[in-house]
Structure 1
Amino acid sequence: MTAPTSPEVIGFYHEKTGSIAYLVTDPATKRAAVIDPVLDFDPRAGKVTTQSADAILKAIEERGLTIDWILDTHPHADHFSAAAYLKDKLGAPMAIGEKVADIQKLWENIYNLPPYTTQYWDRLFADGESFSIGSLDARVMLCAGHTLASITYIVGNAAFIHDTLFQPDSGTARADFPGGSAATLYDSIERILSLPDETRLFTGHDYKPNGRAAQWESTVAQQKQGNTHVGGRRDRGAYIKLRESRDKTLPLPELMLAALQVNLRGGRLPEPEGNGRSYLKIPLNAF
Structure 2
Amino acid sequence: MEPKVHTLFEPVTGTWQYLVADEITKEAVVIDPVLDYDKPTGKITTRAADEILDLVAGKCYTVSRILETHAHADHLTASRYLQNVLAERQPTSPSPLVCIGERISQVQKTMSKVYNIPAIDLEGAFDHTFADDETFAIGNIEAKVIHLPGHTPDHIGYVIGSNVFTGDSIFNPDVGSARCDFPGGSATDLYQSMQKLLALPSHFKLYTGHDYPPESRDIIAGQHVSGSKAVPYTTVDVQRHDNKHVKIGTEMDDFVKWRSERDSGLGDPKLLAQAMQVNVRGGRLPMGDSEQMKLSEVPSAMARVVKV
TM-score, length of structure 2 as denominator length: 0.86
Letter in 2 for 1:256: L
Letter in 2 for 1:261: Q
- CA distance in structure 2 between the partners assigned to 1:48 and 1:233 by the alignment: 45
Which stretches of structure 1, 4 residues or more, deviate above 4 A after TM superposition?
none
Please point out which of 292, 299, 304 is paired with 1:282. 292
* 2:51 match: 55
Please point out which of 159, 172, 191 is paired with 1:186. 191
Letter in 2 for 1:9: V
Residues 37 and 126 from structure 1, CA distance in 2 versus in 1: closer, same or farther, beyond 3 angstroms?
A: same
Report how far residue 118 of structure 1 moved: 4.8
* 1:78 match: 74
DSSP 3-state at the match of 2:124: helix
User: What whole-Å deviation, never above 9, does each CA across 1:184-218 have from its counterpart, x for those lacking one?
Assistant: 11111111111111111100000113453111111
Please point out which of 132, 145, 156 is paired with 1:140. 145
- CA distance in structure 2 between the partners assigned to 1:225 and 1:267 by the alignment: 37
Answer yes or no: is 1:205 the counterpart of 2:229. Answer: no
* Paired residues of 2:117 and 2:277 also in contact (CA < 8 A): no
Q: Percent identity?
A: 42
DSSP 3-state at the match of 1:28: coil
Answer yes or no: is 1:152 the counterpart of 2:157. Answer: yes
* 2:92 match: none
User: What whole-Å deviation, never above 9, does each CA across 1:251-285 have from its counterpart, x for those lacking one?
Assistant: 211101111000001111102xxxxxx224429xx
* 1:17 match: 13
* 2:117 match: 113
Answer yes or no: is 1:264 the counterpart of 2:280. Answer: yes
User: What whole-Å deviation, never above 9, does each CA across 1:123-179 have from its counterpart, x for those lacking one?
Assistant: 100111110111110010000110010000011110000001111111011101111
* Paired residues of 2:80 and 2:282 also in contact (CA < 8 A): yes
* 1:255 match: 271
* 1:102 match: 106
* 2:306 match: none
Residues 243 and 107 from structure 1, CA distance in 2 versus in 1: closer, same or farther, beyond 3 angstroms?
A: same
Residues 180 and 118 from structure 1, CA distance in 2 versus in 1: closer, same or farther, beyond 3 angstroms?
A: farther
* Paired residues of 1:258 and 1:280 also in contact (CA < 8 A): no
* 2:166 match: 161
Letter in 1 for 2:283: G
- CA distance in structure 1 between the partners assigned to 2:33 and 2:123 by the alignment: 19
- CA distance in structure 2 between the partners assigned to 1:117 and 1:268 by the alignment: 10
Report how far residue 24 of structure 1 moved: 0.4
Aligned residues: 273
- Larger RCO of the pair (alpha carbons < 8 Å, separation 6+): 2
Residues 197 and 254 from structure 1, CA distance in 2 versus in 1: closer, same or farther, beyond 3 angstroms?
A: same
* 2:296 match: none
Letter in 1 for 2:212: Y
- CA distance in structure 2 between the partners assigned to 1:113 and 1:36 by the alignment: 23
Letter in 2 for 1:107: M
Moved more, 22-31 or 107-116: 107-116
Residues 280 and 192 from structure 1, CA distance in 2 versus in 1: closer, same or farther, beyond 3 angstroms?
A: farther
- CA distance in structure 2 between the partners assigned to 1:29 and 1:193 by the alignment: 31
Please point out which of 119, 131, 136 is paired with 1:131. 136
* 1:239 match: 255
DSSP 3-state at the match of 1:45: coil
TM-score, length of structure 1 as denominator length: 0.92
Provide the aligned C-alpha RMSD in A.
1.3
Report how far residue 249 of structure 1 moved: 2.4
* Paired residues of 1:111 and 1:281 also in contact (CA < 8 A): no
Letter in 1 for 2:271: L
Letter in 1 for 2:180: A
